[in-house]
């Protein structure tokens, strides 16, 4: 009996890994109004393509004006071991790590981005406002799924998400999200992490002309759902103006394992 249970679990595990690793060869953008998303989201997710949701509610606390009303976070550090604070970015946006912004290195450390989200009670806000959305996004076996909430200040260059879905909801500013076609990944330079696709030149990779990507403009109240493994970057319209976004990552036991590697 125990052997049969073990073999069944093994089969389910490998099936889950297989589904987790699947990706479409080309990118097709799907769009829907948030008010209608619960009716069509499950069907759209079967396409394994990025989805744009328009007219989404967003946390007003993650805006320049509202953050100025929370002085206890003025000294919140943007990076571990750095003296640069949230107040610095809020009031002197263009002077916050200017050299790093040129290549798309995140302004806010990953661990601190989650801490800031908790300080702003965004976990509670998301779970309250998007509870039905998250349930629909989780699909079958939602009991095994988990979410992580974090924040974006400014932008960052190319990364490959390992969560099942990465949902980016803009709260202030105008962003350009670039999605790299799977067929083009072989032409990226070896050091492509945190680079913006439009910034790549023949000096970075001789086959730069073969790299295909789609640019999507996102403004406050617009969300993009990015499937796992799809390389993307999120670039602010201007490094001299305040830009912020909320990130909702949906994980399964398989994707949680992938985070460890």
Whether 150 is in a domain gets the answer: yes
**Cα-flanking dihedrals φ and ψ of residue 123, to 5°?**
-60, -45
Q: Does a structural domain hold residue 13? A: no
Confidence of residue 15 (pLDDT cuts 50, 70, 90): very low
Burial group, residue 92, by CB count within 10 angstroms (0-12, 13-18, 19+): exposed
CA atoms within 13 A on the CB side of 113: 20
> What is the pLDDT, as a whole number, of residue 2?
52
Place of tokens 């067929």: 183
Q: Residue 145 maps to which CATH number? A: 2.60.120.650
Query: What is the tens place of the pLDDT at every residue in 201-248?
Result: 999 999 999 999 999 999 999 999 999 999 999 999 998 999 999 999
Residue 249: burial class (beta carbons within 10 Å; 0-12, 13-18, 19+)? buried
**Any domain includes 11:** no
Question: What string of DSSP letters covers 121-185?
Answer: THHHHHHHHSHHHHHHHH-TTGGG-EEEEEEEES-EEEE---SSEEEEEEEES-EEEEEE-GGGG
Q: Is residue 9 part of a domain?
A: no
The mean pLDDT value of the chain amounts to 88
Is residue 239 included in any domain, yes or no?
Answer: yes
In this predicted structure, what is the pLDDT of residue 99?
76
Tell whether 1 is covered by a domain: no
Domain count of the fold of the chain: 1
pLDDT at 110 over 70: yes
| Residue 194, pLDDT above cutoff 90 | yes
Query: Over 70: is that where the pLDDT of 9 sits?
Result: no
Question: How far is 98 from 93, CA to CA, in rounded Å?
Answer: 9
Positions of E strands within the chain: 30-33, 51-54, 146-153, 156-159, 165-172, 175-180, 213-218, 223-227, 232-236, 244-251
For tokens 């319209």, what's the residue? 237
DSSP state of 186: G
Structural domain contains residue 249: yes
Q: Which two tokens stand for residue 29?
A: 């953008």
- 0.85 surpassed by pTM: yes
Domain hosting 43: range is 29-254
pLDDT of res. 38: 84
Range from 22-26, 81-85, 138-142, 153-157 carrying the lowest mean pLDDT? 22-26
Report the 10 Å Cβ neighbour count for 259: 11
103 assigned to some structural domain? yes
Backbone angles phi, psi at 38, to 5 degrees: -65, -25
What whole-number distance in Å separates Cα of residue 103 and Cα of residue 233? 11
Sequence-distant (≥ 6) Cβ neighbours of residue 9 within 8 angstroms: none
């Amino acid at each position: 009996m125990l052997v049969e249970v073990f073999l069944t679990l093994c089969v389910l595990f490998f099936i889950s890994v297989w589904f987790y690793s699947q990706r479409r060869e080309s990118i097709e953008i799907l769009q829907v109004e948030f008010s209608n998303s619960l009716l069509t989201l499950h069907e759209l997710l079967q396409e394994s393509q990025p989805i744009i949701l328009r007219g989404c509610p967003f946390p007003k606390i993650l805006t320049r004006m509202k953050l100025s009303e929370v002085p206890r976070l003025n000294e919140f550090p943007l990076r571990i071991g750095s003296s640069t604070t949230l107040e610095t970015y809020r009031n002197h946006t263009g002077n916050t790590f200017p050299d790093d912004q040129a290549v798309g290195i995140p302004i806010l450390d990953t661990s601190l981005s989650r801490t800031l989200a908790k300080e702003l009670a965004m976990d509670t806000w998301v779970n309250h406002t998007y509870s039905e959305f998250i349930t629909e996004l989780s699909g079958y076996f939602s009991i095994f799924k988990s979410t992580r909430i974090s924040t974006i200040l400014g932008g960052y260059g190319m990364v490959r998400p390992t969560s099942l879905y990465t949902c980016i909801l803009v709260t202030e500013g105008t962003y350009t999200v670039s999605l790299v076609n799977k067929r083009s990944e072989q032409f990226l330079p070896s050091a492509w992490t945190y680079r913006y696709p439009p910034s790549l030149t023949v000096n970075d990779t001789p086959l730069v002309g073969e790299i295909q990507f789609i640019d999507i403009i996102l403004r406050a109240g617009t969300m993009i759902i990015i499937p796992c493994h799809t390389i993307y970057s999120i670039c602010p319209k201007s490094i001299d103006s305040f830009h912020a976004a909320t990130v909702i990552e949906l994980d399964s036991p398989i994707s949680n394992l992938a985070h460890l590697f």
